[in-house]
Amino acid sequence: MRSTSDQVSVRLYHLDGEAEGGAASTLFYGPLSEALRLAELEPAEVQEGLFIATDNDVVAYLDLIGG
């Protein structure tokens, strides 16, 4: 992900690879700092399917935090 402020608006979503064709469920729209806080609260098995999208990038949550 490109360098960005912790206040930039992002979309936190979960990509369910088990659903037919995959299903993306938005969990949060708002500041990156809050998205990261909310993602941290999710169980490990949910975190594996979390992604954060900005206007021009998408990154897996675990890749972003180095997990």
State the Cα–Cα distance between residues 7 and 56, nearest whole angstrom.
Answer: 15
Cβ–Cβ under 8 Å, residues 17 and 49? yes
State the Cα–Cα distance between residues 27 and 60, nearest whole angstrom.
Answer: 14
20: buried, middle or exposed (CB in 10 Å: 19+, 13-18, 0-12)? Answer: exposed
Whole-model pTM: value is 0.85
pLDDT, tens only, 9-64: 999 999 987 766 678 899 999 999 999 999 999 999 999 999 999 988 999 999 99
pLDDT for the residue numbered 4: 64
pLDDT for the residue numbered 6: 76
